[in-house]
Amino acid sequence: MTYCVGICVKDGLVIIADTRTNAGVDNISTYRKLFLFSVPGEKIFTIATAGNLSISQSVINLLEEGLVDQQTGERERLLDVTSTFHAAQLIGRAARQLVEEQGDALARANVSADVTFLLGGQVAGEDLRLFMVYSAGNFIECGPETPFLQVGEHKYGKPILDRSITYDTSLHEALKLGLISMDSTLRSNISVGMPLDLVTVRRGALKVETSFRVEVDDHYFHDLSERWSAALRAAHKAIPDPPYF
């Protein structure tokens, strides 16, 4: 499994992805699932992937080398597109094409071809946007009322986001909340694992602000997890006892 979260607030965008992949419980590996495509000052796209690793890796390769348009015969790379909406369309086309090609064979082997993507990005002249793209090629866009999207094993890490993220949350706070959401998932589900990859993009900057791998021995992340646990313990102890007895 996988857990990736994208948060799109007033100041910018955070995307965090774990790196664990597993085929069963006895074949566990570390793979990058967060990718950056950028022409600084012109356009930036960051993509996180969940689901079938062979499909998602092939999608990333097609986005790099270009996807042939069936009508025009022209090859289009992700960095050729002129809007984030077109980037979402291109990812969707790549995924749909691969699923059409390999889906039946995968189904016969009892393997799901399902993939989902988070796409965050901005092109000069348009606003910063965050999308979730499905393997059928369709996609939805994140809005300010619920300024986050999740793919993969999303349930464990959702309550903290539901309670705490608003569109006015600062970028630093959004990153912190994303890391807490990730930590909650890591603790409850062994199919999500360290290290973590994270990217932040400030709205309007048209370049990456932070691209960082949080390793398993990262001091800050360890401290965040400990502080969070201690705060939760203090929080529930401070709540009066139920009067139902």
| Residues at the contact surface with its own copies, assessed by CB under 8 A | 155-160, 162-164, 172-173, 175-177, 179-180, 184-185, 187-188, 198, 200, 209-210, 212, 214, 220, 223-224, 227-229, 231-245
Within 13 Å, how many C-alpha atoms sit on residue 26's CB side?
0
14 versus 60: smaller Cβ distance to its own copies: 14
41 versus 159: smaller Cβ distance to its own copies: 159
Q: Please name which of 89, 115, 121, 120 lies closest in space to residue 6, comparing C-alpha atoms.
A: 120
82 versus 170: smaller Cβ distance to its own copies: 170
Alpha carbon separation from 100 to 2, 55, 73, 237 (Å, rounded)? 23, 11, 19, 54
Least distance from its own copies to the Cβ atom of residue 237, Å: 7
CA distance 38 to 46: 8
- Which residues in 91-229 belong to E strands, given as ranges? 115-123, 129-134, 139-141, 148-152, 196-202, 210-214
Residue 213 is which amino acid? Answer: R
Least distance from its own copies to the Cβ atom of residue 177, Å: 6
73 versus 243: smaller Cβ distance to its own copies: 243
Least distance from its own copies to the Cβ atom of residue 35, Å: 18
Least distance from its own copies to the Cβ atom of residue 148, Å: 12
